[in-house]
Structure 1
Amino acid sequence: MSCKRNCVTACDASEWPWSRGSDVRDGSGSARLRYKRCVARRAFSLMELMVVIVILGLLAGLVVAKTRSYIVLSKQNSSRVELAKIREAMESFYAVYGRYPTNEEGVRALVEPSPKFPDGLLNKIPKDPWGNPYVYNNPGKEAAYDLICYGADGREGGEGADMDLRDEETDGN
């Protein structure tokens, strides 16, 4: 008898080797063993399943890592855009008042209404994409003012997601 006849997918239950009327069954159980061997050859072994699971796990890990790096990159780019908007508001403030806001006024001076800007220069006090406030220092170390985003950790220094971002275009007016 061929293996196909013994496989579940190739025959119905009445044709199984241990069913009534089967001439393959010899009483020693050899027909049943042939059937089990056939099914075992058609199924995946535990080792093959483990290898597939490990490969899928590695692929999932790579996808998650790559996605996280894209999220960090998009937050950093968003922060650069916000820094540029704050810089433009600072330049408008400077054009009208002849000075940049003091440390005490900070970025809040760009939001508060004034006679020259009844709605303020910005709609609200901006926070970086990680929810931390932007740091404003007047005078700055190398320019008229420093505008800094401290990154994910909210502290000075760091690499990757914690990297500090500075407004590079302050020209020291």
Structure 2
Amino acid sequence: MIGLNRKRRLKRQRGITLIELLVVLSILALISALVVVNVLPERDRAAARKAKIDIGAIENALDQYRLDMFNYPTTEQGLEALVTAPAGDPRADQYRPGGYLRALPVDPWGKPYQYRQPGEHGTIDIFSYGADGEEGGEGVNADIVNWSEDK
């Protein structure tokens, strides 16, 4: 009787088989693949949304600058004029103490935003060249701009 109980206990305590382990690992690999396929494109869309938000904030800061200084900074003065007063500006006394931005944001791909005044598409153009850092492109490489490209 003791030997029979011991055999039953050993049978219940036996570990998982190699087949069971492979099935579980296969299921985990499948779930991981599904997550990666669905998450990576969302990361690209989030980067584009962040760039749009940054461009909107820069545009607002430029509008505040224009209200105080009566014009936008030139292309040569660039977006740096939002952080520190441009050297030699005759209206330097009207520059807001502390500037219009604490620091210049960089796009989600680590590159500076581009600025043109006068713009080719409006009074001012603010844009990022996208993930590839080159003009044009599609998908994640598409330019993010402050003007409507529907024209």
TM-score, normalised to structure 1, is 0.65
Q: Larger Cα Rg: Structure 1 or Structure 2?
A: 1
Among 84, 93, 97, the alignment partner of 1:118 is 97
Which amino acid in 2 is paired with 1:122?
Answer: L
Question: 1:154: Cα distance to partner?
Answer: 1.6
Using structure 2 for the length normalisation, give the TM-score. 0.73
Percent identical pairs in the alignment equals: 34
Higher RCO, 1 or 2 (CA under 8 Å, sep at least 6)?
2
**Correspondence for 1:152 among 115, 127, 131:** 131
CA–CA separation in structure 1 for the residues paired with 2:37 and 2:133? 22
1:8-30 deviation line (CA, Å, top 9, x unaligned): 973559xxxxxxxxxxxxxxxxx
In the alignment, the residues of structure 2 paired with residue 12 and residue 87 of structure 1 have an alpha-carbon distance, to the nearest angstrom, of: 73
Q: Which runs of 5+ in 2 are unaligned?
A: 86-91
Aligned to 1:10: 8
Q: Which of 98, 102, 107 is the matching residue for 2:74?
A: 102
Give aligned pairs, total. Answer: 134
- The structure-2 alpha-carbon separation of the partners of 1:44 and 1:143, relative to structure 1 and needing over 3 Å to count, comes to same
The unaligned stretches of length 5 or more in structure 1 are: 14-38
Letter matched to residue 142 of structure 2: M
- Residue aligned with 1:148, SS: strand
Where 2:93 maps in the other structure, the secondary structure is coil
Q: Does 1:134 align with 2:132?
A: no
1:32 corresponds to which residue? none
What is the DSSP-based 3-state SS (H/G/I as helix, E as strand, rest coil) of the residue aligned with 1:115? helix
1:50–1:146 CA distance, 2 compared to 1 (3 A): same
Residue number among 53, 56, 60 corresponding to 2:32 in the alignment: 60
State the Cα distance separating 1:137 from its structure 2 match: 1.4
Root mean square deviation of aligned Cα: 2.7
1:162 aligns with 2:141: yes
Deviations, residues 93-145 of structure 1 (Å, cap 9, x unaligned): 22223322111101011111442212111111221122100011122222012
